Amino acid sequence: MNEFVERQMKLTWRPLKKSYDVVIVGAGGHGLATAYYLAARHGMSNVAVFERGYIGGGNSGRNTTIIRANYGIPAAVRFYQRSVDLYRGLEEETDRWLMHQAKGLLWMAHSEAAVRAEQMRAKLNTEFGAETEFVEPRQVQELCPQLDMSGGGRWPVLGASYHPQGATARHDRVVWALAEGAMERGAHVHQNTPVEGLVLDGERVAGVRTAAGDVAAGAVVSAVGGHVSRIAAMAGLRLPIRTHRLQAFVTNHYQQQFGPIVASSELFFYASQTARGEMLLGAEIDPQPSFSYRSSHDFVQDVCRRALCLLPFMSNLRVLRQWTGVCDMSPDYSPIMGQTGVDGFYLTTGWGTWGFKAIPAGGEQMAELIATGEVPELIAPFGLDRFARDRTMADRGSAGTH
């Protein structure tokens, strides 16, 4: 965070204490949201968030900021809808402008099979609380006049599921607002303080090890993105996680308004317009597990080729910036939240390519779990033990990145 932003925000950096009730590892969206809701909803402010870099500098600063709830399984629809609702009220709650804007999201179908899948998605979403309807090509064209409905002759738009609550928000405003809210209520955030190990007391996790010494904690929560396997190994856990890169890029300014967020799971890309007017494009994860932040030219080339089928106007734009995040992918494409079987150690991970939209609900539910000791109903299906119980939450088709 630069000095200008820091002057605008009421962030209070306090010295490190020797002991906290709760220590959260990772000051990204999920870590800060957990700290915020612990303080705001449960009056727990003896909380510290440890961050090896700066707040929001990991995947919270590298995503495509899409907020939606049109998932494919009931438990996920309910959970993400909670997040959509919390995001809508977050500006008022934190008294900060988060540039939250509902744009509507169109999920295209280019084949009979995809039409059926999107019709099913619309039904299932509506049934479990997320507003989605299947729209015919004529309505699709009205919602997004820039679309080439013939899909370049190869990918005709045969319909789409339309999710009016699909939205975007400014990613760093979200993390700053949550950091500010947590710090105002007494929580500590320690930047440039990597957690180097966990303090074990028998079988129990009792604190974290940093360069400034050991810090005791009643509970340790891992909210890291990209390196969760390393933290979990410190607690003796092996995780069903593989880390892959996800790339994205923006073009230069497009002078017209591009209304909705457009996604196509058959062409494997999604696009929206940023507040600056740039077209923001994302697509699939890189095929090999990797922790590298390098971006590649073939990604841009490939995504542009596919995007131009639907959005031919983009041929007049130029690619401005490209970046990469590293995503902890779970095998069933659903998050992993809750207790771990190791006393005093909690996880919120498996946020793969769908973490930003879940920041408020993930934080709220994790805070409730830690404060009350009981697993909230909303996240009970997403526990780490689901793999051993043969209750995986397979929802690959809703990730939009595969």
Contact footprint for another protein (CB under 8 A):
227, 229-230, 238-243, 286-292, 294, 296-299, 331, 387-388
Closest to another protein by CB, 120 vs 200, is 200
Closest to another protein by CB, 22 vs 235, is 235
User: What is the closest distance, in whole angstroms, from the C-beta atom of residue 304 to another protein in the complex?
Assistant: 14
Closest to another protein by CB, 260 vs 352, is 352
Look at residues 55, 58, 59, 51 and name the one whose alpha carbon lies nearest to residue 192. Answer: 51
In the three-class reduction of DSSP (H, G, I as helix; E, B as strand; rest coil), residue 215 is classed as strand
∠ CA 155-355-20, nearest 5°, is: 175
∠ CA 252-309-334, nearest 5°, is: 85
Closest to another protein by CB, 57 vs 129, is 57
User: What is the closest distance, in whole angstroms, from the C-beta atom of residue 220 to another protein in the complex?
Assistant: 20
User: What is the closest distance, in whole angstroms, from the C-beta atom of residue 63 to another protein in the complex?
Assistant: 20
Q: Name residues whose C-beta falls within 8 Å of residue 99's C-beta, 6 or more positions apart in sequence.
A: 168, 169, 170, 173, 275
Q: Name residues whose C-beta falls within 8 Å of residue 10's C-beta, 6 or more positions apart in sequence.
A: 180, 183, 184
* CB contact burial 76-115 (16+ within 10 A = b; e otherwise): bbbbbbbbbbbbbebbeebebebbbebbbbbbbbbeeebb
Give the separation between CA 48 and CA 46, rounded to whole angstroms: 7
User: What is the closest distance, in whole angstroms, from the C-beta atom of residue 112 to another protein in the complex?
Assistant: 28
Residues 67/71/74/78 CA torsion (nearest 10 deg): 0
Closest to another protein by CB, 107 vs 382, is 382
Closest to another protein by CB, 95 vs 390, is 390
User: What is the closest distance, in whole angstroms, from the C-beta atom of residue 278 to another protein in the complex?
Assistant: 24
User: What is the closest distance, in whole angstroms, from the C-beta atom of residue 302 to another protein in the complex?
Assistant: 8
Residues 198/201/204/208 CA torsion (nearest 10 deg): -20
Q: DSSP secondary-structure letter at 27?
A: -
The residue count of the chain comes to 402
User: What is the closest distance, in whole angstroms, from the C-beta atom of residue 328 to another protein in the complex?
Assistant: 8
Closest to another protein by CB, 128 vs 268, is 268
